[in-house]
Each structure stands twice: as structure tokens, then as C-alpha cells.
Amino acid sequence: MEGYFQVGYVRKKHGFKGDVVVRLTADDPTPYQGLDAYFVEERGKALPFFVANSRLVKADEAIVRFEGVDGEPEAQAMVGRGLWLPESLLPELNDDQFYYHELPGFRVVNTGVDSEMSLVQVVEYPAQDLFEIKVGGREQHVLIPVIDPFIERVDKPGRTIYLCAPEELYSL
């Protein structure tokens, strides 16, 4: 959703009165604990869901009751839904830092690779995050691990990522 970032999701229902378990997926969930509202995507629009009450059960999980979610069917309908916040709530980063949601569409330059490349998305897996990169006019994309040794620098104003990943990772 344009202008929003995903901070977490509804993991499962809790009990039979409408409570749900919310998981915060941010690297540091602390700033997002105890908020009064989250946004949920509905037909491409951000709808606010106000928190009636909340209690932290882990550093990254809370049991939440949303206003208007008063029973098991409504809670079950929330399961799996992403929770979003306005980008204005994101902490400021240093020039050499970036948020994943900023990167799609960035030009990619890699030492030794002479193709025009662009970043499609950052795929987040539990074991390893990956850059999905479109190389030239190919139909297939390559996946490059998001690790410090492969990232030379990120030029946010120039919308370019400079990588130094092995050329072999680009061969299909």
C-alpha cells in the first residue's frame, strides 16, 4: 500500500471473544508496541482498526482486541491480515541505511556484470533475505542474498544499489 509499511500481521485468534494474537515483524518491535490503531488493507485502501485493549506476551507478540471484532468469526476473519502503519512513523535512518520497502525499482549495478538490472523486490525468508533482481530483458529473475559483503553501497537519492556479488550468481 502506497504510503504505508507493514509492521506485522494477525497470527491467530485467541479464545472465543474476538481477541487475536498480533506478531510484529519489525527488527525492533519496541516502538510499535501499545499503539492505538493499525491499518488493514481492504480493496486497496487502508482501513483503521482501533485497539480496544492489548497485552504483550512476547517481545514481538501481543494479544489484541480490536474495536468491532467481538466474536470468534470476526477474529478468524482477521487471521493472516497484514497490519500497516503510515511511513511517517518510521524512524529516520542514516544515509547508508535503508528500509526494504524503499528499494523496489532501484537500478542495480554489480561489478563484472554488464547487463541492465533492477530490483524487483526484497524477499524475506526466515533463514536469509534475498534481492530479487531482473537482469536485462530476461523473463527469469535472479536471487542474490542480502548480506553485507555483497552490498557495496546504496545511493538512495540516485535510486541505485551497488553490489559486489559473484558473477556466477547471475547466470541462469
Predicted TM-score (pTM) of this structure: 0.71
Tell me the three cell numbers of residue 31: 516502538
pLDDT of residue 37: 96
pLDDT of residue 172: 64
3-7, 55-59, 93-97, 150-154 — which is least confidently predicted? 93-97
Mean pLDDT of the chain: 90
pLDDT of residue 91: 82
The span from the CA of 155 to the CA of 165, in Å, is: 17
Answer yes or no: is pLDDT of 109 > 90.
Answer: yes
Answer yes or no: is pLDDT of 33 > 90.
Answer: no
The percent of residues above 70 in pLDDT, for the chain, comes to 99
Domains annotated for the chain, with CATH where assigned, are 4-89 (2.40.30.60), 100-170 (2.30.30.240)
Tens digit of each residue's pLDDT (9 = 90 or more) over 47-105 = 999 999 999 998 889 999 999 999 999 999 999 999 999 998 888 888 778 888 889 99
The span from the CA of 108 to the CA of 138, in Å, is: 15
The percent of residues above 90 in pLDDT, for the chain, comes to 62
Count of CB atoms situated within 10 Å of the CB of 156:
16
Answer yes or no: is pLDDT of 7 > 80.
Answer: yes
Tell me the three cell numbers of residue 142: 535472479
89 phi/psi in degrees, rounded to 5: -85, -5
Answer yes or no: is pLDDT of 120 > 90.
Answer: yes
DSSP state of 44: T
> Per-residue pLDDT averaged across 107-120, rounded?
91
